Structures are given as C-alpha cells and as structure tokens.
Amino acid sequence: MKRLFIGLFATGVALGASTFTSLASKRRVATYYYVLTSSGFYRETEEEIDPANCLGNANHKCYVAYSTSQGTSFPVSAMPSVTPIAQSANNGLYIP
C-alpha cells in the first residue's frame, strides 16, 4: 500500500511540475521583404514572395529580405549596408 501511495504521489508531483513548464517556443525572425519595382527602387511589401514573379530585365535581385526594417523603400543605388538574410536567385523585376 505504501508503494502505491508513493507512486501516486510521484505521479502527482511530475504532473504538477509539468504544468508550470512550457516547451521551448520557436522564435520567429521578423522578415521585411523588399521587391524591385520598375522605377529602380526596392519597396517594402507585405505580400508573400513568389519567386515565379521575378520577370523582366534588370541588373539587380528581384527581391531582398532583411531581419530589420530598412524603411518603406530605397533606391538600388543606395542599398542598405546590412547584409540581406534572403534574396532572389535571379535578377529581374517583381511583377505580381
């Protein structure tokens, strides 16, 4: 009988302790996407980026992504000094 109570007590303690602990949450990195427009500017977008929309002829990457905001837009001649965390594989304009 003593074993039964010890076993139930241990189970209760384990369940009680697990109630107050949480699983490690996955940290999501905020990503700011900028797409190349025909006017020679990258503009911020909230759309989901589709690489199939990289069309046209341009000498710059179709889209770039940063972990911090770089403003609403910036010209291709003045790219931010921060290295992008992602960018398109192809050059071209982003045409949704």
Q: Is residue 15 one of the residues assigned to a domain? A: no
> What is the residue range of 43's domain?
32-94
| Phi, psi (degrees; rounded to nearest 5) at 90 | -115, 155
Indicate whether 44 belongs to any domain. Answer: yes
Partnered with residue 42 across adjacent β-strands are 36, 74
Percentage of residues of the chain with pLDDT beyond 90: 48
Average pLDDT over residues 68-83: 94
Residue 12 CA to residue 62 CA, distance in Å, equals 57
Q: Is 22 inside any structural domain? A: no
- pTM value surpassing 0.75: no
Total number of domains constituting the chain: 1
Averaged pLDDT of the chain: 83
The answer, yes or no, to whether residue 32 has pLDDT greater than 60, is yes
User: Has residue 26 been placed in a domain?
Assistant: no
> What is the model's pLDDT at position 92?
92
Residue 4 lies in a domain: no
